A and B are shown apart, each in its own frame.
Chain A
Amino acid sequence: MILFDQVSKRYPGGNEALSNVNFHLRQGEMAFLTGHSGAGKSTLLKLIALIERTTTGNVIIGGKNLHKVSRHTLPYLRRNMGIIFQDYQLLYDRTVFDNVALPLIISGFSSREVKKRVHAALDKVGLLRYEKKYPVTLSGGEQQRVSIARAVVNKPALLLADEPTGNLDPDLSLEIMNLFMAFNQVGVTVLIATHDIPLIKQLDKRIVHLEHGQLLTVEEN
């Protein structure tokens, strides 16, 4: 599903964020990406989501080499990914329902279908009763669950999360991780960047460790 082939990323100014990374995440697999701040976790995720482009090497997502994805086809590629951020990236002038509905509206689903799918997604994250509320009135954990609902609402093949529990306490963090596990169980490929080592040690999933832009250990389970 995700294949990194000798990938390096150098930012303007000479800072090498990733150097010669080889990494394969199979379809339906779930893995955690760990490492200190600045180790290149975010950069790796950004290369997958095409927020950044590689300096050298190839990133292949679902059989598609990202070098060949143009500016024009980029949005269609991103519709196959659900992306989750530490700071949720919700739109605060819209209700929970409208936030979650956004990916479906972008893809041009009918209003009936939008309603059905948004309700299903909100139900999965346990927030159906909040659909008419505005995100600011929700707690951090709830806002993160809204952003997860938005990420999964159009049933993407791949879920990417950048420090999804970074702002949450341990109980909430475990709750969020369990949600990701549940999506993985129904076949979604999941890649999560986190530095919450104690939490992910409990979860019995593959851990990919980055240090100074290099892939150090790949712990297979």
Chain B
Amino acid sequence: MAGQSSGTESQVQLRQLRPSFSSRFKEFFIRHLQVFFYSLGLLSRTPFSTLLTAASLGIALALPAGLYVILDHAKQLSGDFDSINQISLFMKQDVSTQAIERLQKKLNAWPEIAQVKHIDRAAALKEFQENSGFGDALKALKANPLPHLLIVYPSLTHNEPEQINRLLADLKKLPEVDLVQLDIQWLQRLYAIIHIAQRGIFIIGALLALAVLLIIGNTIRLAIENRRSEIVVMKLIGATDSFIRRPFLYTGFWYGLFGSLIAILLVNLSLLMISNPLTHLSSLYNNSKLFSLGLMGVNTSLTLLVSGCVLGWLGARMAVGRHLKEIEPK
């Protein structure tokens, strides 16, 4: 016995009894799948409390999501942002067509400009004659009173109000230009309102995300407390922290998933409830599509689902990280 001690004894300790790597790799996924459904099974054993938690998460998630959907629709209501940001450059009468084409090319090269459209004064007159109803009256004019017009579309990276202001100043300095026109005040106000709304939704969203973390963290803390003796046994027979953590993390994930599903349901229900009076309002404007909310988009729904799951996982991770260390065999 003594003779073999030093050599074999250390070997005995190193014998980890671990299966081969490939088998463990395969098992890893099977275990995850098992825990995935096992944690779902645990939740389904207490359907009422699961529903209560998921519903509170759902409400917390529905608020910012609903506000976001409304803001998103408000943006659409105010029209395409690109088309708001268009600057009309009215040319001086004596500028030739070639000069204007040269100017168009030059402006197109500016980084703050996405596109420059030239509206030829002759074509503009023709269109005006056809569409305005003043056709015959305009024919009586000897010369074309309309100037050449360049429509400048600022690039998307340069459509903040200050940037537009700077661009306007630059454009005014061009010698060929007679008049630069943009209803900047209206645009600035709209931007300001949207900024405030966005900031507000961001704050509400952040606060409610925090609430989701706390709700899930607290729920998981209770779950850990309920299974304290089980965790002790697991630790005694050599379970790693990540093994013990896993079912709780999946539980957090499920709560997040159920919560966001409930949130999607709540937001869509609210949108449906608003939709009728909104259609009525639109009909008063003789435009049935002016205000229409529809349902939550696929992208928004997916974003909500993913953030719900991530928040659930994160809340569980925080709670487990804190409380698992406290539970040790005595």
Q: Which residues of A contact B (CB under 8 A)?
A: 1, 26-29, 49, 51, 61-64, 75-80, 83, 89-91, 102-103, 105-111, 113, 150, 154-155, 157
Contact = CB atoms under 8 A, between A and B. Distances in A.
A63 B237 contact: no
B5 A79 contact: no
Interface size bracket, B side: 35 or more
A22 B145 CA distance: 112
Interface string B226-249: 000110111111111101000000
Contact of A102 (B1, B26, B237, B330): B237
B31 A89 contact: no
B246 to A, nearest CB: 11
Interface string B71-97: 000000000000000000000000000
Interface in B23-69: 23-24, 26-28, 30-31
Interface of B: 1-2, 4-6, 8-10, 12-19, 23-24, 26-28, 30-31, 229-230, 232-241, 243, 328-330
Contacts of A91: 230, 233
Contact of A61 (B13, B19, B233): B13
B24 A75 contact: no
A215 to B, nearest CB: 20
Given A27-B12, A61-B13, A103 B19 contact: no
A110 B229 CA distance: 26
A105 B19 CA distance: 11
A63 B9 contact: yes
Nearest to A27: B9
Given A51-B328, A51-B330, A64 B238 contact: no
A80 B19 contact: no
Nearest to A62: B13
Nearest to A156: B17
Contacts of B15: 80, 157
